[in-house]
């Protein structure tokens, strides 16, 4: 049971507003020092001494308001976190972090923090590898001060934390002789253990205007205002708590605390009545009315005391005993359309229309609000990085091949050289992004994996009919009214009849593309064909997915292809589609233009096309779809 109380203060009547942020006091009898937020921050800052730094923990440090230079570099540090999440591993070296901070022409330029971290490292670099604990503690104090911990010494809270740190350091330093000379890592480990085993009393301070205390601790205190939380039939009275190691009958006979329901009932009622008598002004009790699908009822004990029920849609603020203000919450219906402004230019890639097709709100949030979930740090190579590396290798092979005639003329040794060179380019790309992961042994394993995929790729290419590679990684732009979409086509091949085939490399295992739906889930190939058809005189006769992963190396097409040579898997929806390739192009073009116009009209409905659309979407906290019934908001043809 938690109880929020407003304590009497001689200055309370001089101000009508309480500064909750400055006067909040959590009252616990004891906590361990490592559990205190400020000391936890101190341990995280000292962990920067290690050779490898936890990237997630470092990003949390970037958010600290008291970290050196935080006020002046606030926006830059936000940009730095976004940059780090997209370009570093789960563990990173401090030198690599500083290299990002010192990019002075970028939005994540943080020179103050970079300089402080350099000085932080220099302090540790000049220390011997092993020395007494007392010397390490002196170093730690200097390093923390250098980074601004615990903050402005003029602030009362920070001053107390600084004094508490000094006191703890003095106590811990007493064991210096017993421990002898130890390493920095050992000193940090023993410091964390010491803090974990050390309790600190946080004494109650009646000068605080707002405190959080439990019901037992509130009994001997006097209040101006009281707000009791969770007064429902599950928490008031509390369930019995018999001692596990004593006979239950003996506990009831001796009337031990928590041994009977009647005792819990009497105690709860006594506490409630006592608390009401000790409250000068108003006491409010509240509880949740619904938890998931379970209805919550108020405690039956409330019948013993007269309380005035309050409407859940109203907030009552008591400024003083003679002036009551009631704020009524208003319901606001969100608009379904926010059209593009006349001068609003929107750019993006194929994902913009794919987002609009899958869920209009997703397109609005990502492409107009620029909302994006933070990337997660990963250990090793994630699928995105592996896919980009393989694309680098395939681009190099495409540039070297030129056409199918050259491919068939290659000897086994020349083919091996070609795949080895492509794999080497991919490995170099991975080393730049993930230097810690790409050790010599791991690089060799990754090169073997890439080589096997590239050999399978060349083997399938040799089965194809005659072709010429016109472009690799071709950049194009498709415009529609205010939209300007940037496309990058992996490959454009000219076939023997003069038409072109558009190829997109995929390293994932997904094959069930909804190309024939009214709202296709992936508009990459449809957008490629409409852009190429508009930009060139050569007709597009095929769009294909070239799938490359450990389980499958093959071609996937929306429609059946003749005279292509190699085996091509056809989409399952093709058999139910009336018409051929031209009809599919017309269907795609209508869908693309309809979705583009829908985006420009500003449809922002939270309406996923399929039940699985939200599965990997990070915008749930923004659209709050969990608060609605998804089965009732799926888009249908009649609604759009």
The predicted pLDDT at position 416 comes to 94
- Residues 274-291 pLDDT 10s: 888 888 888 888 877 777
Which residues, 6 or more positions from 621, have their beta carbon under 8 angstroms from its beta carbon? none
Domain ranges within the chain, ordered by starting residue:
3-11+206-328, 28-195, 338-377+465-640, 383-462
Helices (runs of H) and strands (runs of E) counted in the chain: 21, 22
Contacts (Cβ under 8 Å, ≥6 apart) of 337: 601, 602, 603, 604
Q: Are 20 and 57 in contact (CB under 8 A)?
A: no
Give the Cα-Cα-Cα angle 176, 44, 33 (nearest 5 degrees).
Answer: 60
The upper half-sphere exposure of residue 163, i.e. CA atoms within 13 Å in the direction of its Cβ, equals: 9
Instruction: Tell me whether strands 540-548 and 500-506 are parallel, antiparallel or unpaired.
Output: parallel
Number of Cβ within a 10 Å radius of residue 132: 16
Task: State the pairing for strand pair 223-228/3-7.
Answer: antiparallel
- What is the β-pairing status of strands 346-348 and 283-285? unpaired
CA 322, CA 281: separation in Å to the nearest integer?
Answer: 11
24 and 210 Cβ atoms separated by less than 8 Å: yes
Question: What is the predicted pLDDT for the residue at 534?
Answer: 86
Contact of 224 with 12, CB cutoff 8 Å: yes
Q: Poorest-confidence range of 84-88, 120-124, 165-169, 215-219?
A: 215-219
Per-residue pLDDT of 509-566, as tens digits, reads 888 889 999 899 899 999 999 999 988 888 999 999 999 999 999 999 999 998 898 9
Task: Point out which residues pair with 314 in neighbouring strands.
Answer: 328
How many C-beta atoms surround the C-beta of residue 65 within 10 A? 9
Scored b (16 or more CB within 10 A) or e, 600-622 reads bebbbbbbbbbeebbeebbbeee
Q: Other CB atoms closer than 10 Å to residue 259's CB: what's the count?
A: 21
What is the mean predicted confidence (pLDDT) over 583-610? 93
Cβ-Cβ contacts under 8 Å for 14 (sequence gap 6 or more): none
pLDDT at 603: 93
Give percent of the chain with pLDDT exceeding 70.
Answer: 85
Ordered DSSP codes for 359-395: -HHHHHHHHTS---PPPPP-SS--HHHHHHHHHHHHH
Decide if 370 contacts 506 (C-beta within 8 A): no
What lies within 8 Å, CB to CB, of 524 at 6+ separation is 350, 354, 504
**Diameter of the chain measured on Cα atoms:** 98
Residue-wise pLDDT tens digits, 6-23 = 433 333 333 333 332 333
pLDDT digits (tens, 9 = 90+) for 450-490: 999 999 999 999 999 999 999 999 999 999 888 999 999 99
Q: Model confidence at 308, in pLDDT bands (50, 70, 90)? A: low
Instruction: List the one residue out of 568, 598, 473 whose CA is nearest residue 528.
Output: 473
CA-to-CA distance for 280 and 259, rounded, in angstroms? Answer: 33
- Considering only CA atoms, which of 290, 288, 180, 277 is closest in space to residue 222? 277
Return d(Cα 165, Cα 155) in angstroms, integer: 15
End-to-end alpha-carbon separation of the chain, Å? Answer: 49
Query: Quick check: 47 and 249 in contact, CB under 8 A?
Result: no
Residue appearing with tokens 């409330």: 302
d(CA 391, CA 447): 14
Q: Sort strands 540-548 and 553-557 into parallel, antiparallel or unpaired.
A: antiparallel
Separation in Å, CA 425 to CA 392, 393, 546:
7, 6, 20
338-377+465-640 belongs to CATH 2.170.140:
no
Q: Which residues pair with 26 in a beta bridge?
A: 212
Q: Alpha-carbon distance 381 to 391, whole Å? A: 15
Token pair 């008031």: residue = 236
179-232 confidence digits (pLDDT tens) = 999 999 999 999 999 888 877 655 555 556 777 777 877 877 888 888 888 888
Place of tokens 């292509």: 564
Give the span between the Cα atoms of 597 and 480, in whole angstroms. Answer: 9
**3-state secondary structure at position 586:** helix
Contact between residue 474 and residue 492 where contact means Cβ atoms under 8 Å apart: yes
What is the distance between the alpha carbons of residues 149 and 67, in angstroms, rounded to a whole number?
Answer: 7
């Amino acid at each position: 049971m938690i109880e929020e109380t407003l304590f009497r203060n001689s200055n309370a009547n001089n101000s009508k507003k309480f500064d909750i942020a400055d006067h909040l006091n959590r009252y616990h009898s004891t906590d361990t020092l490592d559990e205190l937020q400020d000391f936890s921050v101190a341990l995280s800052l000292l962990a920067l001494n290690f050779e490898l730094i936890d990237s997630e923990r470092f990003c949390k440090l970037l958010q600290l308001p008291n970290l050196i230079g935080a006020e002046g570099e606030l926006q830059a540090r936000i940009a730095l976190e976004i940059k780090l999440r997209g370009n570093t591993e789960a563990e990173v070296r401090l030198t690599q972090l500083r290299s990002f901070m010192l990019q002075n022409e970028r939005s994540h330029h943080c020179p103050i923090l970079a300089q402080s971290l350099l000085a932080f490292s220099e302090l540790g670099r000049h220390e011997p590898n092993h020395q007494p604990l007392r010397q390490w503690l002196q170093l730690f104090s200097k390093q923390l001060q250098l980074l601004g911990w615990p903050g402005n010494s003029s602030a009362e809270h920070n001053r107390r934390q600084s004094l508490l740190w000094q006191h703890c350091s003095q106590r811990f330093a007493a064991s210096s002789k017993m421990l002898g000379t130890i390493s920095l890592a050992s000193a940090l480990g023993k410091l964390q253990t010491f803090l974990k085993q050390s309790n600190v009393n946080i004494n109650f301070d009646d000068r605080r205007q707002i405190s959080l205390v439990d019901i037992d601790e509130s009994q001997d205190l006097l209040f101006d205002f009281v707000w009791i939380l969770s007064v429902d039939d599950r928490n008031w009275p509390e369930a019995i708590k018999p001692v596990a190691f004593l006979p239950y009958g003996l506990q009831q006979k001796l009337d031990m605390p928590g041994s009977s329901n009647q005792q819990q009932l009497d105690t709860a009622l006594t506490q409630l009545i006592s608390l009401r008598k000790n409250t000068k002004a108003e006491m409010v009790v509240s509880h949740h009315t619904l938890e998931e699908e379970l209805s919550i009822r108020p405690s039956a004990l409330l019948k013993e005391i007269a309380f005035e029920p309050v409407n859940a849609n109203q907030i009552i603020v008591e400024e003083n005993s003679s002036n009551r203000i009631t704020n009524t919450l208003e319901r606001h219906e969100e608009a379904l359309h926010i059209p593009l402004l006349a001068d609003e230019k929107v750019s993006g890639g194929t994902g913009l229309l794919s987002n609009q097709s899958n869920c209009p709100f997703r397109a609005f949030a990502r492409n107009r609000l620029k909302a994006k979930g933070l990337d997660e740090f990963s250990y090793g190579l994630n699928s995105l990085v592996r896919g980009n590396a393989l694309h680098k290798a395939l681009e190099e092979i495409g540039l070297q091949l030129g056409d199918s005639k050259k491919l068939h003329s290659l000897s086994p040794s020349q083919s091996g050289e070609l795949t080895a060179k492509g794999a080497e380019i991919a490995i170099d790309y991975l080393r730049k992004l993930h230097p810690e992961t790409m050790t010599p042994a791991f690089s060799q394993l990754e090169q073997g994996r890439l080589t096997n995929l590239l050999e399978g790729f060349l083997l399938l290419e040799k089965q194809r009919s005659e072709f010429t590679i016109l472009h690799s990684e071709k950049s194009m732009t498709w415009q529609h009214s205010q939209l300007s979409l940037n496309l990058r086509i992996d490959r454009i091949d000219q076939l023997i009849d003069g038409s072109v085939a558009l190829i997109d490399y995929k390293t994932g295992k997904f094959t069930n593309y909804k190309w024939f739906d009214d709202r296709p889930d992936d508009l990459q190939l449809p957008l490629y064909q409409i852009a190429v058809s508009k930009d060139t005189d050569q007709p597009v006769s095929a769009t294909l997915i070239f799938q490359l992963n450990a389980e499958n190396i093959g071609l996937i097409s929306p429609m059946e292809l003749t005279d292509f040579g190699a085996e091509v898997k056809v989409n399952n929806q093709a058999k139910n589609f009336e018409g051929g390739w031209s009809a599919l192009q017309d269907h795609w073009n209508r869908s693309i233009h309809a979705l583009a116009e829908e985006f420009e009209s500003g449809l922002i409905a939270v309406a996923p096309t399929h039940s699985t659309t939200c599965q990997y979407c990070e915008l749930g906290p923004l659209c709050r779809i969990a608060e609605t019934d998804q089965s009732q908001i799926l888009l249908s043809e009649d609604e759009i």
